[in-house]
Chains A and B, each alone.
Chain A
Amino acid sequence: MTTHYLVLSALLFAIGGVGVLVRRNAIVVFMCVELMLNACNLAFVTFARQNGNLDGQLIAFFVMIVAAAEVVIGLAIIVTIFRTRRSASVDDVSLLKY
């Protein structure tokens, strides 16, 4: 059963990764990042049960806290960029190049 959870976690993580790469809307990209984090959390929780150790759940808990902080800051940045550039596309923010 554990293997099933892990495969699901890997699937979700890969889907999130592809989403980050193919979507241009910064908010959706963010959501995909969250999806990847959640996939990781699933793996942690699964391993916690597999190994009979609560530390996995603990780490998942911390991941959630960090993810919350990250979302707050990330979204603030998106709002700021949108305010100045009238766009939420990650491709439009491409001034830092050759």
Chain B
Amino acid sequence: MEPAEIIQHSGGAIGAAWLMIALPLVGAAVLLLGGRRTDKFGHLLGVLMAVASFVVAALSFAQLLGFAPGERRRGIELYDFIPGLAKVGLLVDPLSISFCLLITFVGSLIHIYSIGYMAHDPNRRRFFAYLNLFVAAMLLLVLADNYVALFVGWEGVGLASYLLIGFWQHKPSAATAAKKAFIVNRVGDFGLLIGIFTIFATFHTLAFNDVLANADKASSGTLTAIGLLLLVGACGKSAQLPLQSWLLDAMEGPTPVSALIHAATMVTAGVYLIVRSGPIFQGAETAQLVVTIVGVATLLAGAIIGTAKDDIKKALAGSTMSQIGYMVLAAGIGPAGYAFAIAHLITHGFFKADMFLGAGSVMHAMNDEVDMRKYGALRKVMPVTFVTFLIGYLAIIGFPLLSGYFTKDGIIETAMEHNAILGWLAVLGAGITGFYMSRLVFMTFFGAKRWEPTAHPHESPAVMTWPLIILSVGAIGLGAFLVLGNRFMTFLSPAVGAPEEMPSFHPFSLTGLVTLALVAIGAAFAWVKYGRAEVPAVAPRGSFLTVFARRDLYGDALNEALFMRPGQWLTRLAVFFDNRGVDGLVNGLAAGIGGTSGRLRRVQTGFVRSYALSIFLGAAVLAGAWLVVGNL
């Protein structure tokens, strides 16, 4: 089934969809330009803007449901950005509205949570300003109806991410992490930019509607090139191999940031890009294959990294990488996988945000301690956090009937049908997920107390626990709601198309059972190693594999060896060449002329008689010459 036509629209909540972007943007502007005067109410204004944006999104969603399925793609024209080249418009369709709801709903909850989490930070207002800026940029990214506006939003979220990772810029590690994220993202952005250039060169337009409708007219080679370039952009933003290295360091930012940007929303922009550009990828099988390979590789790499991390946030970050790997895998499969990719994206947004916020709650209680080896037995002290975290945990490992069970198994099933090798690797990833998530939960909430003497853990305030509860409700039921009866696939089909045959859900398929068994084995292994046994306070040296995982699979070392060192040599060479070669030439020339002139000017003695002598001799020579010539 092909995507539906876009219908120009005005009026109603959808006509006012630009408010979704404008409101948080205004909030950010007021908070940033207002300075200290807005300190008192800054956080409330930020929350208000996020919630208002959510209300607009919800109203738009309601209005969209009022149309027939074939008329659910509504375009809104705003203005001519570059006359004749790029009109700025918004595209409200099932895909973008799903993102809008996720972003604004989870965003609002995280805003509220941040009131409590950042209560003691002197720069809380600035934090909310950046959060609002992020929400605005992210909404622009998903609502844009062309690649230029998408790129503006893309860069906007990159900026917000940079600002928020480096929010505690007094910590050198945070500042470095922010720069690292920015630079690695830049690599991806270059890919995206060149991809956009190629699109424009091929199609002479950048609007999704025109590009995607005509995608089949371009040669498959061009489409492959565009697809791979877009994939580079997606890899940078979504922390996929080989541009994954920034995500783990990005955990230096405040935990709500990790939850909102580096788990629930921004890092999924790559998945959005691939799904949105679906027709391009469908025309280029090679590109699709590369996308799926990248997805599988990342899901395994993220899982392996997650097994070895003692830092609770970094373990969760590894898990995020891994889960986005699943989404990218699904997105690379084609229309059959799109719905599962987006569904998993949404449920993941809920349960991962839930767990990140839970981790934030734990850190809040433990004096910002992130080392899980210094946790333990927190389930009794922090019951609400424990229960909500447990729900998120069960959802991510795919415990039957919870969200992850439906969406992740959907991805695995689809992958299995698409390519058995990819499917079995995805199953393996699920098993590892079961292990490392269980390890995380056991180390944090079970076992003996390994607290620092100064730690006095306590349950977090209501403003922080309520978002956890709401998110965990989503983590429980959203998967079933979306997947059962192919509800989400049907909803999305006008936007991204759908496979010829709707998949049917088999609760006891072979793949599902094997997955469950592997997850159970992983969890049991984790219980043996970390639940029942004593957890050493200092990480043991570990086997080669452990070190390999702990070092992020030597990703940083690889980057340094492959890019940083040669870059440094190249820079040194360039500097040397500039100093000695270019400057040497210029300076040598200048010095030569200067030296010659310095010697030559000594001729100007100031003695009139010297000058007169030269005139006299010159006249004599002239007279001689005249005589000679005259006698010839």
With contacts A21-B613, A21-B616 taken as known, whether A98 is within 8 angstroms of B601 at the C-beta atoms is yes
A37 within 8 A of B: no
Decide if A24 is an interface residue (CB 8 Å cutoff): yes
Q: In the bound complex, how far is the Cα of B601 from the Cα of A95, in angstroms? A: 14
Q: A97 and B608: CB pair below 8 A?
A: no
Which among A40-48, A50-58, A69-77, A86-94 touches the partner chain? A86-94
Q: Which residue of B lies closest to A20 (CB)?
A: B612
| A96 touches B (CB below 8 Å) | yes
Q: Does B40 contact A (CB under 8 A)?
A: no
Interface residues of A in 4-36 (CB under 8 A from B): 17, 20-22, 24
B506, CB-defined interface residue at 8 Å: no
A44 to B601, CA, bound (A): 40
Asked if B41 lies at the interface with its beta carbon under 8 angstroms from chain A, I say: no
**Total of A-B residue pairs, C-beta within 8 Å:** 31
The proximity string for B residues 592-616 relative to A, scoring 1 for CB distances below 8 Å and 0 otherwise, is 0000000001101111110011001
Alpha-carbon distance between A21 and B605 when the two chains are bound, in angstroms = 15
B606 contacts A96, CB within 8 Å?
yes
Identify which of B604, B609, B612, B616 contacts A97 (C-beta below 8 A).
B604
* Minimum CB–CB distance for A92 against chain B, Å: 10
Do A21 and B609 touch across chains, with their CB atoms under 8 A apart?
A: yes
Is B601 within 8 A of A91, CB to CB?
no
B452-483 contact mask (Cβ, 8 Å, vs A): 1 or 0: 00000000000000000000000000000000
In the bound complex, do residue B613 and residue A97 qualify as a contact, i.e. CB atoms below 8 Å apart?
no
Shortest distance from the beta carbon of B289 to any chain A beta carbon, whole Å: 77
Residue of B nearest to A24 (CB): B609
| Nearest-CB residue, chain B, relative to A21 | B613
Chain B residues contacting A91 (CB-CB under 8 Å) are 607-609
- Tell me the interface secondary structure of chain B in the complex: helix
Interface residue tally for chain A (C-beta within 8 Å): 13
Asked whether, in the complex, the Cβ of A90 is within 8 Å of the Cβ of B606, the reply is no
Q: Within 8 Å CB of B602, what residues of A?
A: 98
The reply to whether B606 and A95 contact each other, CB–CB distance below 8 Å, is: yes
Residues of the A chain whose Cβ atoms lie less than 8 Å from the Cβ of B616 = 17, 20-21
Which of B604, B606, B616 has the largest number of chain A CB atoms within 10 A?
Answer: B606
Min C-beta distance of B612 to chain A, whole Å: 6
Q: How far is the CB of B623 from chain A (nearest CB, A)?
A: 10
Residue of B nearest to A26 (CB): B608
Partner of A94, one of B601, B607, B613: B607
**Considering only CB atoms and an 8 Å cut-off, how many residues of chain B contact the other chain?**
11
Query: Which chain B residue has the least Cβ–Cβ distance from A90?
Result: B608
| Complex: chain A residue closest to B597, CB-CB | A98
Smallest beta-carbon distance A27→chain B, Å:
14
| Minimum Cβ distance to chain B for residue A94 (Å) | 3
Closest Cβ neighbor of A23 among chain B residues: B609
Give the chain A neighbours of B604 by CB distance below 8 A: 97-98
Give chain B nearest CB distance to A59 CB in angstroms. Answer: 20
Q: Which residues of chain A are within 8 angstroms of B605 by Cβ–Cβ distance?
A: 94, 97-98
Contacts of A96 in B (CB 8 A): 606
Q: Which residue among A17, A95, A98 has the maximum number of chain B CB atoms within 10 Å of its CB?
A: A98
Cross-chain contact B606 with A21 (CB below 8 angstroms):
no
**B612/A93 in contact, CB under 8 A:** no
Residues of B within 8 A of A93 (CB): 608
Closest to B605 in A: A97
Contacts of A17 in B (CB 8 A): 616
Pick the residue among A20, A22, A24, A97 that contacts B606 (CB under 8 A): A97
Select from chain B the residue with minimum beta-carbon distance to A22. Answer: B609
> 1/0 contact trace for B286-320 toward A, CB 8 Å?
00000000000000000000000000000000000
Q: CA of A91 to CA of B606 in the docked complex: distance in angstroms?
A: 8
* Proximity bits, B604-632, A CB within 8 Å = 1, else 0: 11111100110010000000000000000
In the complex, per-residue mask of B2-27: 1 if CB is within 8 Å of any chain A CB, else 0 = 00000000000000000000000000
Chain A residues positioned under 8 Å from B612 (CB to CB) = 20-21
Among candidates A90, A95, A98, residue contacting B609 with C-beta atoms closer than 8 Å: A90
Q: Who on chain A is nearest to B600 by CB?
A: A98
Which of A21, A24, A93 has the most chain B CB atoms closer than 10 A to its own CB?
A: A21
User: In the bound complex, how far is the Cα of B601 from the Cα of A97, in angstroms?
Assistant: 8
Question: What residues of chain A lie closer than 8 Å to B613, measured between beta carbons?
Answer: 21
Closest chain B residue to A17, Cβ basis: B616
Chain B hits for A21, CB < 8 A: 609, 612-613, 616
Question: A98 contacts which chain B residues (CB < 8 A)?
Answer: 601-602, 604-606
Residues of B within 8 A of A24 (CB): 609
- Chain A residues near B607 (CB, 8 Å)? 90-91, 94
A68 to B606, CA, bound (A): 28
Question: What residue of chain A has the Cβ atom nearest to residue B603's Cβ?
Answer: A98
* A22, B605: Cα distance in complex, Å: 16
Minimal beta-carbon separation of A93 from chain B (angstroms): 7
Closest Cβ of chain B to A80, distance in Å, is 16
Please report the C-alpha to C-alpha distance between residue A22 and residue B616 in the assembled complex, in whole angstroms. Answer: 12
CB neighbours (8 Å) of B606 from chain A are: 94-98
**How far does the Cβ of A91 sit from chain B's closest Cβ, in whole Å?**
6
Minimal beta-carbon separation of A10 from chain B (angstroms): 10
Q: Return B611 CB to nearest CB of chain A, in Å.
A: 10
B residues whose Cβ falls under 8 Å from a Cβ of A: 601-602, 604-609, 612-613, 616
Chosen A-B contacts, 23 in total, with CB atoms closer than 8 Å, are A20-B612, A20-B616, A21-B609, A21-B612, A21-B613, A21-B616, A24-B609, A90-B608, A90-B609, A91-B607, A91-B608, A91-B609, A94-B605, A94-B607, A94-B608, A95-B606, A96-B606, A97-B604, A97-B605, A97-B606, A98-B601, A98-B605, A98-B606
6 more contacts with CB within 8 A, not counting A24-B609, A90-B609, are A17-B616, A20-B612, A90-B607, A93-B608, A98-B601, A98-B606
Nearest 9 CB-CB pairings of A with B = A97-B606, A94-B606, A98-B601, A98-B604, A97-B604, A90-B608, A21-B613, A94-B607, A17-B616
